[in-house]
Amino acid sequence: MIAEFLLPDLGEGLPEAEIVQWLVDEGDEVSLNQTIAEVETAKAVVEIPSPYAGTVRGIHAAAGDVVAVGSPLVSFAVGEADATPTPPGVAPRSAESAADTPAADDAEPRVADEPRTTERESAPAATPNLVGYGAAPASGARPRRRPRAAGTTATAEIEHAVHRSAPHDVVPAAAADSAPERPRSTPPVRKLAKDLGVDLVLVAAAYPGDLVTRAHVEEFAARAASTGAASVAPTPARASADPFSLASTVPPAVSSDPRTTRTPIRGVRKHTAAAMVRSAFTAPHATTFLTLDVTATTELLASLKTDRALDGHRIGVLAIVAKAVCLALGRTPALNARWDEGAGEIVEHHFVNLGIAAATDRGLVVPVVRDADALPLVDLADAIAELAGTARAGRTAPADMTGGTFSITNVGVFGVDAGTPILNPGEAGILAVGAVRRTPWEHHGEIALRDVLTLSLSFDHRLVDGAEAARFLTDVAGVLREPGRAMLLR
């Protein structure tokens, strides 16, 4: 019997994945739960285990191909006993009916914080294990389409818009079955958008409503031109395709012009682009700066390095800043909140899930330290180091990059002093930490060489007033100037 394994929903509502490499070939014998491939989503590289014990009869996508969730991935030759019960993401079929089996219906993903080891330890030996990413058993129905609801344009549609838009830390975790309808507009407006090189999906995201008008397109194009934002006009191949098709044509890797190179927008870059477009067009950004003397902090860190009790722990400036941020957020809760447009509410968090931006070979990712405010300094430093290492290796789980309430980006590691970081969607603030420089500085009425750095705080001006942002930055700076002041903030 031939059983076809369909690419499952990898747990975050992501609509597609790119094949990184195959670990099996056609004709290979595989065992249950043997790793057969590595795939890259917009958030992580994921290992795919075999749902069957059998023989690989067909591989339906090559390394580098982008495969939509629910599309055939690999076929197995299995016995009747091995083919039941049907595991998630698998469509058993006879060879004669293989072409007629519908794609599996989407299902509710597991809770992101559910330990992935629980099912592996308690499940029967014959149960396939999709390492926490498998969907529930399929219903056999085709995927449903939901109409676009008012107020959801800026979240659901941007995920699809990036297929046709040009590209900095998370695509909204939309359900696998949510396929927004094409933006409503008239033929002249669509032609105008094409002539101006504007994507209508991004216009609809920027101007929520029932109909995209000529004025919307013209204003969007003017704003994009004034800010230097790129907006790519659809090619003829794209224009003729379903605008939300996950198998849409991508540009060739090499341009016909030898002086230019075209690279498909995929994975983390596409994910980052969607997040930044969404943030830039929904949250009014403002940034404030503070340059300060952190010599007391660097002296503290030097003394900690000689403490044998801390052998094996790497505590640096970033860890001290992260601890100061957690303490300061307790005094400025507006920066640890979320603007809920749909409900017309401000959601204030009574915990801190701290995002730490990490530059990787795959692009910029922001893994999250959960309940960072409850961690002692040493544990916080260890958590940051572990997440950063996992991110650089490309092994961060999708669930570890969601749910942040405030973020930090350490631009100082690149020798940069300051910047204007863009907010993560759903967060009210992000703090950029500049390089520590030995600088002439006024100290006790005299000029002395001191360790100096600059903090740059970007915030959502809908949620945070300038006075609140200044108070938060002053509180963080107070801890860095005199680490002992941390005891006064809690």
The four Cα atoms 236, 237, 242, 247 give a dihedral, to 10 degrees, of: -150
- Measure Cα distances from 484 to 6, 66, 160 in Å: 57, 52, 49
Q: How many CB atoms lie within 10 A of CB 136?
A: 14
**What is the C-alpha separation between 224 and 258, in angstroms, rounded?**
28
Integer Cα distance of 416 and 63 in angstroms: 37
Tokens in use for 151?
A: 């107020």
Beta bridge partners of 345: 340
Contacts of 187 (CB under 8 A, 6+ apart): none
Let me know: does 9 contact 69? Beta carbons within 8 Å: yes
Strands 406-409 and 354-356: parallel
Distance CA 236, CA 257 (A): 19
Active site annotation includes 168: no
Closest CA to 165 of 99, 108, 224: 224
Active-site choice (60, 285, 349, 461):
461
Q: How many residues does the structure list for the chain?
A: 490
Beta-strand ranges (E) seen in 279-436 are 285-293, 337-340, 345-348, 354-356, 358-360, 363-365, 368-369, 406-409, 429-433
Q: Which of 177, 40, 12 is nearest to 111 (CA)?
A: 12
Which residues does 22 contact at the CB level (< 8 Å), separation at least 6?
A: 36, 37, 59, 63
Across the beta sheet with 2-6, the strand order is 29-30, 54-59, 72-77, 2-6, 90-93
Residue 365 DSSP one-character state:
E
Pairing of the two strands 429-433 and 406-409: parallel
233 vs 193: CA distance, rounded Å = 8
Nearest C-alpha neighbor of 110 from the set 10, 6, 7: 10
Structural tokens at position 77: 């030759």
Report the C-alpha gap between 476 and 482 in whole angstroms.
10
- Contact yes or no for 479/489 (Cβ under 8 A): yes
DSSP state of 180: P
| Sign of the C-alpha dihedral computed for residues 435, 436, 440 and 443 taken in this order | positive
Query: Residue 54's beta-bridge partner residues?
Result: 30
Catalytic residue ranges: 461
